[in-house]
Amino acid sequence: MYLSEGPCKTRVMRPSETERGQAWLSNFVVEDRLIAERLVDSIRFAPGSAIRGALSVALDRMVTEERIEFPALLVPAQAVEDLAPVGPGDGKRVAFVDFRLDDPISATPGSEGLMGNVVREATRGVHAKKLLHPSETLESLRSRRCRSILLATDYSGSGSQLVDYATTLTRNSTIRSWRSGGLLTINVLAFAASSAAIKRMSRQDSPIDSVWEVEVAPVIGGSSGDPAFGRDAVDLCRRYSLHAEGSLGYRSSGGLFATDGGAPNNLPAVLRRKSSHKWKGFFEGRSVPAGLALQLGDYRPSIPPTQVASDAGQHRAAAVLSAEPSARSGSDRLLAVIALSKGGPKLEHALAERLAVSSKEIRSDLETLRSIGLMDEDNRLTAAGERELTVRRRRERVVAPLLVGDDSPYYPQSMR
């Protein structure tokens, strides 16, 4: 795959193919390098331009398809610890009291700067009447009859940061009153979110009413669906980390997502460990070297449908996929979705994670399967879907001959 940047083309490389990737792999003994290579190649790397474009498209769809109620206050989510210091009281920040939603951000912003750019462009664009700027006050939100708050972020690995930020909103008595009266909802739009983060934000005790993600972010052992690799990768991360605690990143989430703006703290420590005379780093702490970002481009790990079907226990279907020339076609991803759904429906974000594709692609696959009668409205396999899986699982039967050919004349050796 190639990305065009002006007059030249830069090949998007797998992380293990890059110069830094090759140097990083040299840290490991020979027996561990295969696992280390698979680990680093499982990273999803997204440049800021791709994130900004995808979120802009997602916002446009949310407005045109009215996924939430409008007008909506669009806010770039921040870490609570980065907000203005709290005033007197219990030390818990309250939105519109202890801080404004458009307070200045750090002079060297990370994802906050990118999200601020997305929010600025969206609130000035064609949907300006429906997407309100975070500079709005409670009084102006009341007069404009705001019906939703939409928190925008590039990535959520655990969901905790967004839950904490949303909690500062619900501590405000006015916001709390509007929510209890059914007049306001709090929602999240993320470019990428892990399955664990989606579950955390969707819990009953969460202040967040709905979560919309463009992609499901990979985690160690998650997108591959291979328990053996997951165990080996965790063991590798622990053995090569300087400290056992934090070896799998923040809250041991084992995230595998990074951008050219920085490496999140939930990445395994072996990927964030800085270079030294004893260690050749991949990411330099929380920063991403410019040369590495250029080589990685818009990199997404690929998981063959063959592997997905095999991991799902559908070994004959996997054999069919590997034998057919169409093994890389969209129809084979549909078969992989069917294989994963055997035994009960799966959540959209779980399917997206296992197949390493976007949530939009999975929703399209499920709609296709429903339209041709292979799945019902609850994403359960129909009788036709079960038959399709059975038919596609069939392999040509190979019969081992019981007689061995011999050119010598046949003569009976005994009479019975």
- Residue 113: per-residue pLDDT: 78
The reply to whether 27 and 53 lie within a common domain is no
Q: Are residues 314 and 369 in the same domain?
A: yes
Residue 83 DSSP symbol:
S
Whether the pLDDT of residue 412 is over 60: the answer is no
In this structure, is residue 412 part of a structural domain?
Answer: no
Q: Is residue 406 part of a domain?
A: no
Q: Are 121 and 133 in contact (CB under 8 A)?
A: no
Per-residue pLDDT tens for 390-404?
A: 765 554 444 444 445
91 and 166 within one domain: yes
Would strands 8-11 and 2-5 be described as parallel, antiparallel, or unpaired?
Answer: antiparallel
Whether residues 210 and 66 fall in one domain? yes
Strand partners, 381: 375
Categorize the per-residue pLDDT at 314 as very low, low, confident or very high, splitting at 50, 70 and 90.
low
* Same domain as 205, residue 135: yes
Residue 305: the pLDDT is 57
Confidence band for 328, pLDDT divided at 50, 70 and 90: very low
Q: How far is CA 93 from CA 99, 168, 170, 197, in A?
A: 8, 6, 10, 22
Q: What is the pLDDT of residues 109-126, one digit of tens each?
A: 567 778 989 999 999 989
Any domain includes 357: yes
- pLDDT at residue 407, rounded to an integer: 52
Looking at the fold, whether 36 and 67 belong to one and the same domain comes out as no
- Could you tell me which residues are beta bridge partners of residue 287? 284
**101 within some domain:** yes
Same domain as 77, residue 208: yes
* Structural domain for 158, as ranges: 48-216
**Which CATH number does the domain housing residue 73 bear?**
3.40.50
Q: How far is CA 216 from CA 3, 112, 199, in A?
A: 23, 20, 12
Do 139 and 92 lie in one domain? The reply is: yes
Cβ burial 202-218 (10 Å sphere, 16+ → b, else e): beeebbbbebbbbbbbb
184-221 pLDDT per residue, tens: 999 999 999 999 999 999 999 999 999 999 999 999 97
Other Cβ atoms less than 10 A from the Cβ of 44: the count is 22
* 403 in a structural domain: no
In a domain, 1, yes or no: no
The whole-angstrom distance between residue 244's C-alpha and the CA centroid of its chain comes to: 25
Q: Is the pLDDT of residue 44 over 80?
A: yes
**Predicted confidence band at 413 (pLDDT cuts at 50, 70, 90)?**
low
Provide the residue count of the chain.
416
pLDDT reported for residue 340: 77
Looking at the fold, whether 97 and 142 belong to one and the same domain comes out as yes
Q: How far apart are CA 35 and CA 13, in angstroms?
A: 18
Q: For 242-363, where are the E strands, in sequence order?
A: 257-259
Q: Are 94 and 207 in a shared domain?
A: yes
Query: Does residue 116 sit in helix, strand or coil?
Result: helix
We report the CATH number of the domain holding residue 329 as 1.10.10
Q: Are residues 329 and 266 in the same domain?
A: no
Asked if residue 51 lies in contact with residue 76, where contact means CB atoms within 8 angstroms, the answer is: no
Triad 165, 169, 170: Cα angle to 5°: 115
Domain boundary among 277, 296, 315: 296
Q: How remote is the C-alpha of 288 from its chain's centroid? A: 19
pLDDT mean across residues, the chain: 83
Domain ends where: 268, 296, 324?
296
Residue 3 is assigned to a structural domain of this protein: no
The residue to which tokens 């750090």 are assigned: 106
Separation CA 289–CA 95 (nearest Å) = 36
Predicted local confidence at residue 310, as pLDDT: 55
Indicate whether 343 belongs to any domain.
yes
Number of domains present in the structure of the chain: 3
Instruction: Evaluate whether 332 touches 323 at the Cβ level (below 8 Å).
Output: no
Which among 267, 296, 325 is the end of a domain? 296
Do residues 250 and 316 both lie within one domain? no
